[in-house]
Structure 1
């Protein structure tokens, strides 16, 4: 009898505990229906750039090596390393004492011949002497003019001047030194505007033409972007790389970009408006892509979307989301289709 009573009591206790556990356990789907906080972003239209990336090399707009045309001693140097000079500015003076003397002699001879010609013209008009004498003196005057020009050219050859405005390189000569044709004195680069050469794969050649915009940055100035435009597309494709060289020109007002620099280049093939959302809103499912859109009644709605271009954490949506709708960017792991959510705004688009 006692055993029966104990058995009944044990069964009653087990049933009571089971009922309590069942009351405290969550019902199926309760977690799914819980309201969760999510971060959302409002889909909007933004400028999209279809780009080709490449590495380019900076070249000076104009570049020369300053060398003398004649052999002689340097008497004076008028520049320092890295000077900014203007076109025609005197850089180096060579010894020209002999040439100056020859120039003065030629000028004196020319003046004498001109005085004699003027005197003879009066005599010819009065028929005192024959006209042939005037012709002979005119020839002497013309010859003296040529001699002056030759002497003046010899003087100018010993004045080394900047052929164009630009920035000088290092000074490689000293006063009193003997220079000969081909001796390196310094270099001169016009870098107020620079040329940027970079290769582009041949498959893009149909989209390349002068006027296309480029943006470039250098390792030395990572936070600065330089803008320019394409001026020339090479007439040949490199058979080894299957790429064509494109040349762009861009201003360099601070002379920061130097010849030989390596730059990261973005060639903008096309620029248009597109609907962009953060890439973090995309849920990849095999070959498909989905997003969660927050409806007007704060419900999460799962949708298939079609993607366009991607760029630095952003993705273009060509189908599946409308402008102005809110997509969930954070909290996706806690969200189910049809679940109530508390949306919070995302950071503004940059």
Structure 2
């Protein structure tokens, strides 16, 4: 125990002697190193206010190819997936009987017209009563109607493309008996695609034809398809509180298919604004601040007002001027009035920022 007390006394004596010998050196504080920060100059950038949604692609025109009558197929003039022009013959049904009926009625019409020409002079000379001429005229009118009916029945056995488009899979074969409503194939005009998507009702005031739309499909993740809003539905869905918006986009290379799910961006507004990376924003309660570096390389805390924002970017509506140097990295190492070493952000360049959403 005595040895421990002696050792403690010796240690205390040594410390006292050290401080007595060099009091100034012991009390001097080491200077705080000047921190390095990364800054970027505030600049005006083009931005877009957008609404994101999911949409379904539809053919610009679409029908199920079917027959109006019941009959047997004698000829098929297309293959699966063919591109056809308007008026192209797709399917021929059996029509021999109707050709014969048309020929008979046409012959009857010619005979009746010849007979009418023959008796006109007799009626003029009153050799034949006018009643006979009137009866023959009625017979001619009836025969003409029969000719039109026979032609219509004949045309019903010819199935043509009502518009240019792309055919689907063939569902019948030569010799099949088809009935009205039975699907022979499908025909879609996919040179343009109609894209329907839902937009929340709070954006209705900003919706109007002519707004630009950009869409992506899962099948083409690196490709953007552009279109234009053509119409807005007249009703809001009471269950979803959304309205259906329809856009039309060109599909000249037939890449898009009807029924595709697409991620849609409706561009409400395109404008220019002052933007900063979100990392530069310092939230304090309900207010927002940034650290700027002045001409003396000192940190100044400045309050700003935020506008719209997106992932990684935020719009500054008040409190910041173009060209001011804003700290974007190293914020936690500094305080207002600290002197700093400035380093410009590498690979930091202002580009068009997309996908801006209204700030809450």
CA positional deviation for 1:118: 2.8
The equivalent residue for 1:269 is 268
The equivalent residue for 2:322 is 323
| Worse-matched range after superposition: 276-285 or 177-186 | 276-285
Partners of 2:80 and 2:248 lie apart in 1 by 26
- Match for residue 30 of structure 2 among 20, 26, 33: 26
Cα RMSD, aligned residues only: 2.9
Counterparts in 2 of 1:232-271, with a 5 A limit? 232-271=231-270
Question: Which residue number in structure 2 is paired with residue 3 of structure 1?
Answer: none
Q: Secondary structure at the match of 1:305?
A: strand
Shift of 1:101: 1.2
Query: Once the 2 structures are TM-superposed, how far is the Cα of residue 154 of structure 1 from its aligned partner?
Result: 0.9
- Give 1:108's aligned residue: 107
Range with greater deviation from structure 2 (227-236 or 68-77): 227-236
For residues 343 and 297 of structure 1, the distance between their equivalents in structure 2, rounded to whole angstroms, comes to 14
TM-score (norm 2): 0.83
Cα separation, partners in 2 of 1:12 and 1:77, compared to 1, 3 Å:
same
Looking at structure 1, the residues matched to 254 and 112 of structure 2 have their Cα atoms a distance apart, in angstroms, of 54
Residue pair 1:298, 1:343 contacting (<8 A) in 2 also: no
Quickly say closer, same or farther: Cα 1:15–1:254, change in 2 above 3 A: farther
Superposed CA deviations along residues 132-174 of structure 1, whole A, max 9, x for unmatched, are 4433332232222211111111111111111222221111111
Pair 328,10 (structure 1): closer, same or farther in 2 beyond 3 Å? closer
In the TM superposition, residue 319 of structure 1 has moved relative to its aligned partner by 1.2
1:1-350 equivalent positions in 2, closer than 5 A: 26-27=30-31, 30-31=32-33, 34=34, 36=36, 38=38, 40-125=39-124, 129-338=128-337, 339-346=339-346, 347-350=348-351
Superposition deviation, residue 102 in structure 1: 1.1
Please give the alpha-carbon distance, in whole angstroms, between the structure 2 residues aligned to 1:80 and 1:221.
27
- Equivalent residue of 2:276, what SS? strand
Q: CA deviation at 1:43?
A: 2.0
Structure 2 vs 1, CA of residues 342 and 187 (structure 1 numbering), >3 Å: closer, same or farther?
Answer: same
Q: Deviations over 1:23-75 (max 9, x none)?
A: 6x622xx22xx26252x333222333332222222222222111111111111
- The answer on whether the counterparts of 1:199 and 1:243 sit within 8 Å (CA) in structure 2 is yes
Q: Secondary structure at the match of 2:112?
A: helix
Structure 2: distance between partners of 1:37 and 1:207: 42
Which consecutive residues of structure 2, in runs of 5 or more, have no partner in the other structure?
1-11, 352-360
Shift of residue 210 of structure 1?
3.4
Q: Please identify, of 171-180 and 320-329, the stretch whose mean Cα deviation from structure 2 is larger.
A: 320-329
CA distance in 1, matches of 2:201, 2:42: 35
Q: Report the number of matched residues.
A: 339
Instruction: Point out the more displaced range, 278-287 or 93-102.
Output: 278-287
Does the aligned pair in 2 maintain the 1:171–1:186 contact within 8 Å?
yes
Mapped partners of 1:132, 1:148: distance in 2: 24
The TM-score with structure 1 as length reference comes to 0.85
| Residue 14 to residue 312, structure 1, CA distance change in 2 (3 Å) | closer
